[in-house]
Amino acid sequence: MRWRRFSVTGPPDASEAVCAIMQRMFGGLSVTPTPDGLRHDAYMAELADYLSAADELAEALGAIPPELALPAELLLSADWVEDEDWAEAWKKHYRPMRVGQRLVVVPLWMPWPDPDGGIPATPDDITIRIDPGMAFGTGAHSSTRLCMIGLEERVRPGVEVIDLGCGSGILTITALKLGAADVLSIDNDPICISATASNAAHNGVDDRCRARIGEGLADIEGRRDIIVANITADVVISQAPRAVELLKPGGCYIISGFTVRSEEAVAGALRQVGLSLVSQHSEAEWLGWVAQAPE
């Protein structure tokens, strides 16, 4: 099967806006640093109406405020990619990486410990094996790592978690390997649900992972200890009221996918629903926060 790959390369300041557009249109994407800026890749199956999608994407990019990026700074391209090409590309460029204190993300096809000695193993390592396939979430993007750090801080044995916008399942697996009793993984893209289920099985935690198609938190029942959402500022904001309703007293809303440009808007939305910011991390322009519900 072939996929139509849409690529947008632009300055880091525009990345949050580009991510929001491409996630809305395609459901998932990857973000890769390049010498020309950040490259954002998203995919459509060859039978989909990719010509209309190209027009819609170009129009949406043209509406990005000029203080973030001038139209000439946002480079849009499209090509065809075979499933096999995608897999081989990840195998060439995706390497083991350490995140936080104990977490190590290892590509499914690579041995661990690393025989090349690139990342020394330690007895306390928690390894998370990932094959992203067509889904977002390799650990290479700052927002993913920031959410993983938040989970490492807050997950305790037995907690119940929601992973909103699960992508490849990397945050789901992180939570489960840190001791979560159960994770409900939600995404609006069937490819992501399949990737999450597959990666959970490869990590031996599929018995505690429930991955399902969904749009936001509206139809979720039962309160949880943690909701983790690596999405965009507008979704973090729109889901905050429902997140408070679903969190147990003292539960945490762990969020990333937004930059310093949205800091005030996200902080205001959290305060409005009674969530208190208790932990903050950053990487380049990306932010990762832990907000706590009232006791």
Cis-peptide, bond into residue 11, ω within 30° of zero: no
pLDDT of 89: 59
Indicate the residue type of 259.
T
Q: Between 232 and 291, whose confidence is greater?
A: 291
Angle among Cα 258, 65, 281 to the nearest 5 degrees reads 15
The mean pLDDT of the chain is 90
* CA gap 164, 66 in Å, rounded: 31
pLDDT tens, residue by residue, 50-62: 888 999 999 999 9
Locate 133 and state its tokens.
């396939």
CATH of domain 2-89: 3.30.70.240
Contact 136, 127 (CB under 8 A): no
Judge whether residue 253 has pLDDT over 90. Answer: yes
Q: Does domain 134-292 have CATH number 3.40.50.150?
A: yes
Q: How far is CA 9 from the centre of its chain?
A: 19
Q: Where are the domains of the chain?
A: 2-89, 134-292
Give the mean pLDDT of 140-160.
94
Topology alike, domains 2-89 and 134-292: no
Angle among Cα 179, 181, 186 to the nearest 5 degrees reads 105
Name the percent of the chain lying above pLDDT 90: 58
Q: What is the pTM of this model?
A: 0.82
pLDDT of 165: 92
Locate 197 and state its tokens.
């289920």
